[in-house]
Structure 1
Amino acid sequence: MSDSRIWTRIQPVVTILLVAVVIGIPLWLVVVTAGKSRGEALTPDLTPPSDWRLLENLGTVWTEGRIPAAFVGSVLVVAPAVVGVLVLGSMAAWILARRSGRTAAVLYAVGISGIVLPPAVVTLVLLLRQLGLAGTATGMIGVYMGIYLSTVIFFVTGFVRTIPPSLEEAAQIDGAGPVRVFLRVVLPLLRPVLATATILICLYVWNDVFYAFFVVGGRLDTLPLNLFRVASAGLYLNNWHLIFAYVIMMSLPLIVVFAVAQRKIISGITSGAVK
């Protein structure tokens, strides 16, 4: 048997083992630590607890960790930021995908430059102060939209190019204007790629603590900021069982979103890769 055939047969096994090591071990560490008592969790390891206290620890974090208020703060920031960046990014991507020439190419390069060029935090904070938006949810939403607009443009532009222009031309013949063509024809066809962009941006924004700390830190509680505060407080200092329980609670909404939209996410990734 040739080496290529042997590798073809063992490749799925190797892939499963790698996934189990890279993803399974960290997940197991989080779950078992969250299920331990304070004494057992002082030094986190992979050994299971002698007495599972996962539900008890989750309940303690829910009541004492101010998770409901922090959850509301995260939703107030994440939902408008994601919706806004998807709408503006998809509209910009549609225009760029349907235009040709050097000007369109330059605008596209500028539009996706945010993927490789990180924003300057000091400049952002100073600009928000000049606009009177420092420390506000509106300012935080604007920051997230500016940061991740490039990601949406990059994903959606390649997908729009796979849509036949004849569909839009038929709507224009029927008297539809640009806005109606986009809303009635283009936008429904973008659902798979928008599902992909949604889960990616939600993942980035939901878990962000770096930009939130500088923009709204101390004025608005989000789940990551609240976790930082809880982990630094004397009551929870070195209480790894409660910190890991908080991580589980914070991750549950994203797990639900991914479970519901996983088919569209995979479809969006593969469709966008065609071009």
Structure 2
Amino acid sequence: MQPLAAIAAAVILLGIPFWLIVLTASKDQAEAFSPDLSLPTRWQLFENFGTVFQDGRMLAAFGGSVLVMVPAVLGVLILGSMAAWILGRRRSKPLAFVYALAISGIVLPPAVVTIVLLLRQLGLAGTAVGMIGVYMGMYMSTVIFFVTGFVRTIPIELEEAARVDGAPPVRVFVRIILPLLMPVLATATILICLYIWNDVFYALFVVGGRLDTLPLNLYQVASSGLYLQNWHLIFAYIMLMSLPLLIIFMVAQRKIISGITSGAVK
């Protein structure tokens, strides 16, 4: 009975909100004015998708999200995994302090005012480079936390054998360590992509008005005349915005689960 109860709870907690989004996105403006679980009189989901895509500047916003997310994710994965490799292999009190400091970003909230002022001083406020730097700084702790525990499970004899053959540290990391980190890096990739893809708060302060991302564009158009009280279009936008990450998650879910369990148990 316990597994059935857990499945029923998951269906209720996750399935009902998702079904509400689909139903509301499939209705016209009058029926969607008060979102509920009633079926639409006429299903017009794809018509609403077309309206959102054409009138909501969604393609440009999609390009802005990709422009910010891809370099930020790649940068934080590469630098974070290299730092985690060092922290996971070398044991000393100074490095233990560095590790504690590195993962403190998980629980300490970023200071938005300080970030904006610093970016203005550097001339990066309102730029994609500044936004990429902010995301890398925010989520570096997450990568280090995930990867360090995984690195400690990798036999050090693999690295020693490569060093005996004359491989430099960079080659050891690229050829030996990095391929073994793929499961945990896949997990970190999905988590960070979710954070960045859905972020509107920091994007609003750093690049608001100068670079469109999907959540920022949704926030702007939802307050304009096009989407004002048009819940069917807002929910249709949300569905389209969530679709890329949903597909990625469905494809990579096995690696995500294996990465989480490997980093936690081992």
Residue 162 (str. 1) matches residue 148 (str. 2): no
For 1:54, the equivalent position in structure 2 comes to: 45
Match of 1:68 among 59, 63, 67: 59
Q: How far 1:43 sits from its partner (Å)?
A: 0.2
Query: Structure 2: how far apart are the matches of 1:46 and 1:228?
Result: 24
TM-score of the pair, normalised by structure 2:
0.99
Q: How far 1:136 sits from its partner (Å)?
A: 0.1
Map 1:78-89 → 2, pairs under 5 A = 78-89=69-80
Query: Structure 1: how far apart are the matches of 2:198 and 2:30?
Result: 28
Q: How far 1:127 sits from its partner (Å)?
A: 0.1
Range with bigger deviation, 13-22 or 204-213:
13-22
Find the residue that maps to 1:273 and give its secondary structure.
helix
For 1:114, the equivalent position in structure 2 comes to: 105
For 1:96, the equivalent position in structure 2 comes to: 87
For 2:250, the equivalent position in structure 1 comes to: 259
Residue 145 (str. 1) matches residue 136 (str. 2): yes
Find the residue that maps to 2:30 and give its secondary structure.
coil
Identity %: 73
Query: Structure 1: how far apart are the matches of 2:3 and 2:259?
Result: 23
Range with bigger deviation, 255-264 or 86-95:
255-264
Query: Structure 1: how far apart are the matches of 2:83 and 2:226?
Result: 48
Q: How far 1:21 sits from its partner (Å)?
A: 1.1
Q: What do you get for the CA RMSD once the two structures are aligned?
A: 0.6
Give the ranges of 4+ consecutive aligned residues of structure 1 lying more than 2 Å apart after TM superposition: none
For 1:5, the equivalent position in structure 2 comes to: none
For 2:123, the equivalent position in structure 1 comes to: 132
Q: How far 1:89 sits from its partner (Å)?
A: 0.4
Provide structure 1 residue ranges, at least 5 long, that are not aligned to the other structure. 1-9
Query: Structure 2: how far apart are the matches of 1:169 and 1:48?
Result: 64
For 1:180, the equivalent position in structure 2 comes to: 171
For 2:240, the equivalent position in structure 1 comes to: 249
TM-score of the pair, normalised by structure 1:
0.96
Query: Structure 2: how far apart are the matches of 1:20 and 1:126?
Result: 45
Find the residue that maps to 2:29 and give its secondary structure.
coil
Query: Structure 1: how far apart are the matches of 2:258 and 2:163?
Result: 28
For residue 58 of structure 2, what is the amino acid of its counterpart?
I
Q: How far 1:50 sits from its partner (Å)?
A: 1.3
Match of 2:10 among 15, 19, 22: 19
For 1:3, the equivalent position in structure 2 comes to: none
Q: How far 1:116 sits from its partner (Å)?
A: 0.3
Match of 2:195 among 195, 199, 204: 204
Count of equivalent residues: 266
For 2:216, the equivalent position in structure 1 comes to: 225
Query: Structure 1: how far apart are the matches of 2:6 and 2:159?
Result: 43
Q: How far 1:47 sits from its partner (Å)?
A: 1.1
For 1:77, the equivalent position in structure 2 comes to: 68
For residue 68 of structure 1, what is the amino acid of its counterpart?
L
Q: How far 1:274 sits from its partner (Å)?
A: 1.5
Q: How far 1:267 sits from its partner (Å)?
A: 0.5
For 1:171, the equivalent position in structure 2 comes to: 162
Q: How far 1:48 sits from its partner (Å)?
A: 1.4
Deviation string 1:16-53 (CA, Å, 9 cap, x unpaired) is 11101111011011000000010000000111111111
